[in-house]
């Protein structure tokens, strides 16, 4: 299995990077949609269903598959011999940040359901602040992998 994964390493790494990029795009965009959803529906209730449709399509058609692909290709990289040095700190900082990113993804999914159910309790400002969470996690992940401290 190790030799097989080693032979696939460039492909696995490429698909992992592409998956991460798609996932991150969604993690950056969905909270911004929530900001506009909150602020525009204060002006008109007619626009709410449009935002709900955009949010569900982003989450189900882009973000969920990208997150799953990121995890699958990430596991393949972890299982590839010689890629991860488990005696270093970086795999653990990356793992914690990826788990936090996954939690944030699911948190956003629950917030989307709040909009659908009419129970959203967050303001546009709060969603703007939450929009910074994936940026902080991305910095931790990239520094962990590139600097390998």
Domain boundaries, the chain: 2-147
Point out the residues of the chain with pLDDT beneath 50. none
Report pLDDT for 3: 86
The reported pTM is: 0.93
**Alpha carbon distance 100, 98 (integer Å):** 5
Q: What is the b/e burial string over 107-141, where b = at least 16 CB atoms within 10 angstroms of the residue's CB? A: ebbebbeebeeeebebebeebeebbebbeebbebb
């Amino acid at each position: 299995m190790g030799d097989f994964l080693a032979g696939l390493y460039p492909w696995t790494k490429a698909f992992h990077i592409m998956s991460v990029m798609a996932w991150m795009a969604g993690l950056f965009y969905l909270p911004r949609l929530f900001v506009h959803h909150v602020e525009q529906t204060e002006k008109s209730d007619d626009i709410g269903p449009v935002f709900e449709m955009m949010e569900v399509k982003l989450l189900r058609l882009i973000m969920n598959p990208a997150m799953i692909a990121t995890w699958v290709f990430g596991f393949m990289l972890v299982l590839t011999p010689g890629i991860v040095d488990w005696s270093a700190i970086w795999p653990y900082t990356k793992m914690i940040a990826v788990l936090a990113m996954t939690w944030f993804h699911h948190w956003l999914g629950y917030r989307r359901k709040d909009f659908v159910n009419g129970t959203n309790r967050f303001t546009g400002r709060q969603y703007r602040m939450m929009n910074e969470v994936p940026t902080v996690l991305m910095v931790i992940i990239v520094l962990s992998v590139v600097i390998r401290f």
